Amino acid sequence: MPPERVSPDAATLHGEAAIEDKGENGAPPLESVGPIEVPLPPDNAPDRQVDEEEHFSAFTKGAKVFVVVIASTSAFMSPFAINIYMPSVPNISEDLHIDSSQTLLSVTTYMIFQGISPSFWAPLSDTYGRRPILILTFVVFLIANLGLSFTQVYWLLLVLRMLQACGASSAISIGAGCISDVSRRKERGTYMGFFQTGTLLGPAVGPIIGGLVSQSWDWHAVFFFLSAFGGLYLLFLIVMLPESLRALVGDGSLKPYGIWRTLIPIRMTEHKPKTIEDGLEKDAYMHAPPKLNLPAMGFDMPWRMYGHADLALMIVSFSIPFGVFTMVSSSLSPTLSTAYHYNSIESGLCFIPLGVGSAVGSILAGKLLDYEYAKAHKRHGSEMNLHHARLKYALLFNGLFTAITIANGWCMDFKVLSKPVHIAAPMILQFFLSMTSIMFFNAMYVH
């Protein structure tokens, strides 16, 4: 009888099987046979895909929410640190005896290193784990803030602002990686929506707190506040942040050890047997991290993305609206001061619509994207176009964002208008500007 045919996707069980069969005539035992092939269903089988999706993560729903909260708070730090600084620009210029353009150069340098530093930290987190690298970035952030709290020299202000950006901004990419580690595709839109709230709440609440602090004390108090806030959050990360990198802890049921283990034992996973291919029990320890090998870290990988047309288009499509939103939010305070003669506290309060809009937009976009994913999966099964199911909304959100940006610019163009419009008009537009921007960012970020 001919042997059973196996599919091209058959898994090979390595090792030799010795078969003994002396038979009726006392024949010698058969020779060892080669690898035994066990047929498996093809990768695109619907049942297999559903099973892999359902068993993607052993983290409980509560643990996933906990990870999302940590990631969102970490992502909050970078935009918060740059916007809490803005009301202090006139005071810094006066104290250091420099003009405002020189002071604003410290904002420019911050944003440059905000964009560059993730290309260094992200590959490290993909290799050595989310927990140790995220903790290290906040150590850098704390050191920079402590230095800024006492500096009286302009060049040192620039250097420490660069260091501050290197510590804070990388939390955005690492936080997104944490969410991808623990969430399934069908729920990732909602979680990414809450995650994006942190990045847009920073520009909303930063000027409010910065205005209150700088008006009550001097500009150094802003960095004392950031030092205290960052130090407390660093302590929280050391005590509570779980490791989620799948290369180390699998689906989350492998126990971490050493620096990857939380100081307070927290149950993050459901009690269920281990189901990954190595057959380890659920109380097995994490895989050993690789040894330090900087040339193999892939620090050039973020830059090589621009060599792929689809990825380059995604990056540019994301970065232009983000740059527009950053310019609108950073120019709001001086514009209100000039047109409406608001002080730093009153200008800071006008950022509240940005924060509320970002929160509303992130929740709406997350629910809408997950609903569209579920509808497309139910209609087309494994043959659905995942990118079309979510990215088709990006065009709608971006169109709304563009129209609202134009309307907001018209309201704030006092050279055209005979007098400033009522303050309610720009505040309403700021709300919808923030809401549509984060809905667009969420649609792009999920992929």
pLDDT tens, residue by residue, 120-148: 888 888 888 889 999 999 999 999 999 99
- Residue 400: its pLDDT value, please? 92
> What is the mean pLDDT of the segment spanning 155-165?
92
Asked if pLDDT for residue 108 goes beyond 70, the answer is: yes
Joined together, the tokens standing for residue 18 give: 């010795």
Angle of helix 386-411 relative to helix 424-445, nearest 10 degrees, comes to 160
pLDDT tier for residue 4 given thresholds of 50, 70 and 90: very low
d(CA 233, CA 45): 45
**3-state SS assignment for residue 269:** strand
pLDDT (0 to 100) of residue 431: 92
pLDDT on residue 18: 40
Under DSSP, the state recorded for 268 is: -
Residue of higher predicted confidence among 244 and 109: 109
- 366-390 pLDDT, tens per residue? 778 777 777 776 776 655 555 566 6
> 27 pLDDT exceeds 80?
no
d(CA 287, CA 370): 32
pTM as predicted: 0.69
For position 30, what pLDDT does the model report?
42
How far, CA to CA in Å, does 442 sit from each of 55, 190, 196, 302, 365? 25, 9, 7, 20, 7
How does residue 21 score in pLDDT terms, banded at 50, 70 and 90?
Answer: very low
Cβ within 8 Å of residue 155, ≥6 positions away: none
Residue 27, Cβ neighbours under 10 Å: how many? 9
- What percent of the chain is predicted at pLDDT more than 70? 74
What is the per-residue pLDDT for 280? 46
Least Cα distance to 350 among 140, 204, 234, 217 occurs for 204
329-339 pLDDT, tens digit each: 777 777 777 77
Q: Closest by alpha carbon to 318, among 306, 334, 331, 300?
A: 306
Residues 6+ apart with CB under 8 A from 377: 186, 384, 389
Which residue would you say has higher pLDDT here, 136 or 176? 136
Higher model confidence: residue 62 or residue 11? 62
Taking each helix axis as running N to C, give the angle between helix 61-83 and helix 185-216, from 0 to 180 degrees, rounded to the nearest 10.
40
The mean pLDDT of 187-204, rounded to a whole number, is: 76
Q: What is the pLDDT of residues 307-321, one digit of tens each?
A: 778 778 888 888 888
**Percent share of the chain, pLDDT over 90:** 13
Nearest to 260 by CA among 247, 241, 278, 275: 241
What residue spans define the domains of the chain?
Answer: 47-288+299-445
* Structure-model confidence comparison of residues 248 and 407, the more confident one: 407
Residue 283 has what pLDDT? 52
List the CATH code of the domain at 47-288+299-445. Answer: 1.20.1250.20
User: What is the overall mean pLDDT for the chain?
Assistant: 75
